[in-house]
Amino acid sequence: MTQLPLPYYNDDPNSFAYPTVHKRWPTIIEGCIKDMKNELESDPKLENSGSDIITKLQDLLVSFKNDEEVKPFDDAAIKLNPSLARYNESLVELNKTKKVTWLTGPWLNLECYLYQAINQYFISSEESYWHDFDIFENLKNQTFQQSELGALELCKRYEVLTTQLSKSLEKDTLKLLFSEFIDISLWGNATDLSLLAGNVTLEDIQSVQGEANRKKNEENILVNDLSEAWEYLLKSEAKEKRLDIVLDNSGFELFADLIFSLFALDSGLVSEIHLHCKQIPWFVSDVMPKDFSILLKQLIDPKFYGSISNKENLRAISAVQERITNYHKSDKIVIKSHPFWTLDDKYWTIPKFDDLYKDLLASNLVIFKGDLNYRKLTGDVQWDPTTPFTTSIQELATSKLPVLSLRTCKADVVVGLPKGLNEELIEKYKSMSNEKGEFWSSSGKWAVISFSDGRN
């Protein structure tokens, strides 16, 4: 392997790491403390064990503020969650370059470490109630509720699609539909709860849901390798094709991914879809297997809806719900989770994880949703923005895994841009009254669709 560029560090004021660490992380943890206090009110028996967790969260906040050294997980923690041993190995490696502290260490590793540390507080409690408690669940549910209009629009679109698909379609029409539903799934990623800890309002989030807005945002897709991915998928002679999606966020994004999945199955493009979830609460809003079941229940719960709860709307929504449920029951939609997705590993180490690698090799296309997946694909290092995607993903480009990344840009790293475009966007973002033009790539307003067939 050639020498990699340096990672993004938390003390770099020109990196989006800086505001993330100084503002978002504390806000997220303060939110957890507040939600814990509410939870304790609901059951006095939880008082002692819950206060214990609150103290740990408060200590974590203090260790940020004091820029303390990030400590390895102890044996008891590793016993409860063996993946943490891998974090300790990576800490040993990182400490060789410089002592890893909260406010100066590498952004990606520490952000992953943070969510593992929070999870540890819950799973190590003597009170079993907390062991599979998801501190972000209320937030996930609330935000999906506020996306009801967006979700309804997708259900109505699906109704029309059903009639379109009842006729046999030309290849070109199918390609257009593929591109439309990929777009739905891509922009679904702009609804990210962890952004709520910054200065993005709910109105901002709703403004990326809906057809009109997706059309408007079309020109903000800076790299678009979708045609290559489409050709690759069609080229395969396999009669039964399998598509995998490494999911990102719950709620509206998951719903958008499921609408895309329905399209891919109903059109006969693929015969199976495997959805990869996280095993622990992750980056606030990421999908855990139970979030899939929760979403299916919410969709048919009339109490869940506000302004749109008339009969006709509810019928359109429950038709979609039924379809997803049936595919799930017949194993055409398969829900999976693997501890790899909550490690701090770059994705080019996937081939070292035998079981996961073998499983993914059976797929005809692996879609990686969202920003964090993109950061892990490209290693979250300071690539020149004109670096080809296939260079940035290192060994993954020759791993035989066909990779398609759908990402709205919410962090620094970006690759595959034509020469000069980054500079143009820096100027443009500045002219939009933003102090740091470089933060265009963290604003969530632009997107990239990048593909590698894994056979470089």
Contacts to ligand F6P by CB under 6 A: 16, 20, 111, 189, 192, 194, 248-249, 283, 370-372, 375, 410-411, 442
Closest to ligand F6P by CB, 16 or 440: 16
Q: What is the DSSP string of 359-390?
A: HHHT-SEEEEEHHHHHHHHHTTB---TTS-HH
- Partner interacting with residue 275 (select from ligand F6P, Mg ion, none; CB below 5-8 Å by kind): none
Q: If we measure between CA atoms, which residue out of 228, 273, 149, 217 comes closest to residue 408?
A: 217
Smallest gap from residue 238 Cβ to ligand F6P (A): 30
Closest to Mg ion by CB, 8 or 283: 283
Smallest gap from residue 268 Cβ to Mg ion (A): 31
Does 412 contact Mg ion by CB under 5 A?
Answer: no
Closest to ligand F6P by CB, 10 or 364: 10
Closest to Mg ion by CB, 185 or 364: 185
- Partner interacting with residue 246 (select from ligand F6P, Mg ion, none; CB below 5-8 Å by kind): none
Closest to ligand F6P by CB, 192 or 257: 192
Can you give 129-194 as a three-state secondary structure string? HHCCCCCCHHHHHHHHHCCHHHHHHHHHHHHHHHHHHHCCCCHHHHHHHHHHHHHHHHHHCCCCHH
- Partner interacting with residue 189 (select from ligand F6P, Mg ion, none; CB below 5-8 Å by kind): ligand F6P
206: number of Cβ within 10 Å: 16
- Partner interacting with residue 411 (select from Mg ion, ligand F6P, none; CB below 5-8 Å by kind): ligand F6P
Smallest gap from residue 358 Cβ to ligand F6P (A): 26
Distance in angstroms (rounded) separating the CA atoms of residues 256 and 181:
8
Does 249 contact Mg ion by CB under 5 A?
Answer: yes
Region from 180-188, 195-203, 247-255, 403-411 binding Mg ion, contact rule CB under 5 A: 247-255
| Alpha helices for 238-310 (secondary structure H) | 252-266, 289-299
Smallest gap from residue 125 Cβ to ligand F6P (A): 26
The site for Mg ion, by CB under 5 A, has a size of: 4
Tell me the residue length of the chain.
Answer: 456
Smallest gap from residue 371 Cβ to Mg ion (A): 7
Residues 6+ apart with CB under 8 A from 306: 145, 148
Structure tokens at 449: 């669709």
Provide the b/e sequence for 322-337 (b: ≥16 CB within 10 Å). ebbeebbeeebbebeb
Distance in angstroms (rounded) separating the CA atoms of residues 190 and 185:
10
Closest to ligand F6P by CB, 242 or 375: 375
Contacts of Mg ion in 265-324 (CB under 5 A): 283, 286
Does 453 contact Mg ion by CB under 5 A?
Answer: no
Does 380 contact Mg ion by CB under 5 A?
Answer: no
269: number of Cβ within 10 Å: 19
Closest to ligand F6P by CB, 61 or 165: 61
Does 248 contact Mg ion by CB under 5 A?
Answer: yes
Closest to Mg ion by CB, 150 or 444: 444
Does 20 contact Mg ion by CB under 5 A?
Answer: no
Contact criterion met (CB below 8 Å) for 286 and 179? no
Structure tokens at 433: 């009254």
| Residues lying near Mg ion in the complex (CB under 5 A) | 248-249, 283, 286
